[in-house]
Structure 1
Amino acid sequence: MTMKIGAIAAQLGTTVRTLRFYEAQGLVQPQRTPGGTRLYDEADVARFAAVLALARLGFSLQELAALAAVRSQHETGDAASRDVLARLAAMDQSLAAQAAAIKTQRRDLAQAQALVRRCQGCTQRPLRTVCDQCEVSRGVSDSQILQLVWEAPVRD
């Protein structure tokens, strides 16, 4: 079964432009008719989905292109498998670091939400000079995200 690129883009929640860019980078190489029309099959859709998923996680196109080409650069399955495994291990380490950062950020968000909930029902104007007098404001410095939300301190 072949699909048009627009249908693939819709299925994967991306744009035709993005898929064409990935194709131009050599990440997907569809078959072509004698007239030059691209024919995308299920394997192409799977490759596009893999590239999109990894790119959305922050892997660069250079990293993905290198991963896509790694097997063809080796003379034996053993050499290729060792290279692939090393690259996959590095990707796993990167994702583990991201997961730890996300876990930390989620804790901070939960702490910030708990603190901000205490402001519900407040009738005061949300200004630093007013909020600094409130006990809730004392917890703001413990939350990284609230450093962004809270009004900057007034400087003399």
Structure 2
Amino acid sequence: MKSSEVGGGAGTLSIGALAARFGLATHVLRHWEAMGLLHPGRDAGGRRRYGADDLNRVATILVLKEAGLGLNTIGSLSATVDRATRHEILRPAAEELRSRIAAAQASLELIEGGLNCEYEDVTQCPNYRRHLAERIGPRSPADQPPQDASCAGNSSRSS
């Protein structure tokens, strides 16, 4: 470890060393500090010093961001130890994630349908047509062609 990484206290890191450890820019750590997510110590010269708790905190922030949580939500979570409040904060995030997963799954099914389609013209594939029909929705009576009394499917016809 460089002396600049340890200068302000044994086992602490400078802002540059901490940022490099996680592949972040130093301004990201300053922003997180301004939002109240990080609380680094200071050395005699006023420089930020990060210890083991800060390493854990940065790792936690990164994991929660990868899970799709925003910094404000992460801040709210860090401000509570109450289980009910934690659930109240996380429930909307879980619902949003479920919705995004469902949308991604539907997109994947459409793409895989195109990959597996044996027709030259993908618009002729039954899977593609089903997706279009679902998007269009049920037809209104005004959109339906008039039925001829001689139509085979007409239920008013007597045998």
Same fold (TM over 0.5): yes
Higher relative contact order (CA 8 A, sep 6+): 1
Q: Please, which runs of 5 or more residues in structure 1 have no aligned partner?
A: 71-80, 125-130, 145-156
Shift of 1:30: 0.9
C-alpha distance 118-66 of structure 1, shift in aligned 2 (>3 A):
closer
In the alignment, what sits opposite 1:12?
A: 22
Deviations 1:99-133 (A, max 9, x none): 422441243133113212035894x7xxxxxx54x
Shift of 1:7: 3.3
Indicate the percent of aligned positions where both proteins have the same amino acid. 26
Taking structure 1 as the reference length, what is the TM-score of the superposition?
A: 0.61
Deviations 1:20-71 (A, max 9, x none): 100112211111111111111111111122223334444343343344344x
Shift of 1:88: 1.2
Task: Please identify, of 104-113 and 27-36, the stretch whose mean Cα deviation from structure 2 is larger.
Answer: 104-113
Shift of 1:95: 4.0
Q: Give every structure 1 segment of 4 or more consecutive aligned residues whose post-TM-superposition deviation is greater than 6 Å.
A: none
RMSD: 3.0
| More helix, by proportion | 1
* Count of aligned residue pairs for this structure pair: 124
C-alpha distance 66-92 of structure 1, shift in aligned 2 (>3 A):
closer
C-alpha distance 58-142 of structure 1, shift in aligned 2 (>3 A):
farther
Preserved CA contact (<8 Å) 1:108 1:143: no
Preserved CA contact (<8 Å) 1:9 1:15: yes
| Aligned mates of 1:63, 1:23 — CA distance in 2 | 15
Q: Which has the larger radius of gyration?
A: 2
| Aligned mates of 1:121, 1:86 — CA distance in 2 | 54
In the alignment, what sits opposite 2:35?
A: 25
Taking structure 2 as the reference length, what is the TM-score of the superposition?
A: 0.60
Q: Please, which runs of 5 or more residues in structure 2 have no aligned partner?
A: 1-10, 136-159
C-alpha distance 36-143 of structure 1, shift in aligned 2 (>3 A):
farther
Matches within 5 A, 1:3-152: 3-70=13-80, 81=81, 84-118=82-116, 122=120, 132=123, 134-135=124-125, 137-141=128-132
Preserved CA contact (<8 Å) 2:18 2:55: yes
